[in-house]
Every structure is written in C-alpha cells, then in structure tokens.
Amino acid sequence: MLRTIHEEHEFSDLFVAYVVDRHNRTQADLVDQLFNSSEKRLARALLIMARFGKNGTSETVIPVINQATLAEMIGATRSRVNFFMNRFRKLGFIEYNGVLKVHSSLLEVVLHE
C-alpha cells in the first residue's frame, strides 16, 4: 500500500481525498449524535441517503432499507424510527409504501430549531 501511494500519485490523491472525506463524515456524525434529537438524525440520514442537493432533484427514491437498519444508523430503536417515519409521512415529507420517496420539504425538520 505504501509503495502504491508513493508511486501512483493519482491513486494517492484519490485515497487521501477519501480518507479526509471519511474523517469529516465521522466528525459530523458524532456531532449529530451528541447534539441532535433522534428525529433530526433520522431526517438527516434520509436526506443523505437520498443524496439531497447532489443532483438537483427535489424528490428522490431511496433503495430498500428496513427500519431496524435505520435505527442502527441513528442510534435509536426501531419503534422510534417507525413513529418518526409515520409522522414524516403524515406531514408529507416522505412517501413510504414499498418504495421510500424523500421530498425536499424534509429539510425543514433538520433546519427547524
């Protein structure tokens, strides 16, 4: 690995960029866990999975993911995730019937204090 990093400059640039991005994401997740409610963490996780803001679309479909996995991602129980998903659906932030569709309005949950 060290030899490749020293000899392949293009690879080393990509590798360093990946490591820095991963480090920044880990710090953001830690801050999120410490200072935000589980509802905001779920909203943030859904927006990240939907790649909100990356492709310019206002609604994005997320690949199939179960509530237990979402609960592990945000450090909450599956029943809390179920509660928040139902709330998000009732408020029109998401559509959730077999396929999860995230609306840009979900950003309000993250930004609202």
Residue-range domain boundaries for the chain = 1-35, 38-113
φ and ψ of 97, to 5 deg: -140, 85
Q: Output the furthest CA–CA distance in the chain (Å, rounded).
A: 55
Q: List, in sequence order, every residue forming a beta bridge with 60; answer none if it has no partner.
A: 102
74-87: b or e for each residue (b if 16 or more CB lie within 10 Å)? bebeeebbeebbee
Q: How does residue 55 score in pLDDT terms, banded at 50, 70 and 90? A: low
- The pair of structure tokens assigned to 66 is 């179960």
Which stretch of 14-23, 88-97, 103-112 has the lowest confidence by average pLDDT? Answer: 103-112
- pLDDT (average), residues 48-77: 80
Residue 113 has pLDDT above 60, yes or no: no
pTM of the model: 0.70
In sequence order, which residues have a C-beta less than 8 Å from that of residue 51 and are 6 or more positions away?
60
Instruction: Say which residue the tokens 């939907």 belong to.
Output: 50
Q: Quick one: CATH architecture of 38-113?
A: Orthogonal Bundle (1.10)
d(CA 81, CA 67): 6
Which stretch of 12-26, 55-69, 78-92 has the lowest confidence by average pLDDT? Answer: 55-69
- pLDDT (average), residues 72-97: 92
